[in-house]
Amino acid sequence: MNLGQALDTVHRRLQLPGSSTAALAASVNAKVGHDETLAEVPALDTGVTVRVADVLQRLAVATAPLVDRDVYEVHRHWGLMRYLGLFAPQATDDPAATALHGWRRRRAM
């Protein structure tokens, strides 16, 4: 997937089906055990339209990172993760050939 396809994908709107019943709310309340009690939300029965980017952003905010929060650990983690965007799967076994076009140009210079 190239960058343009990735951007098109994350900006795409999706219609997610929804269902909210009193039985479902009671089942979740029994399993979760929060102080707050969940109730049915009839507005969800029509489904909800979301953008993939919005879902990913909210998931990232709600999910704790799996790295320590000290400066060294964050730097070390970022040092590994920042290069993931440079590579795209290709029909080749040569790891050097899987780099994106811009990276190949810089290597050739």
pLDDT digits (tens), the chain, 109 positions: 788 888 888 889 999 898 889 999 888 888 887 778 888 988 888 888 999 888 888 888 887 767 677 788 877 777 777 666 555 555 555 555 444 444 444 444 4
Domain boundaries, given as residue ranges, for the chain: 1-63, 67-109
- Based on its alpha-carbon atoms, the radius of gyration of the chain, rounded to whole angstroms, reads 21
Going by the DSSP 8-state scheme, the letter that residue 50 receives in this structure is E
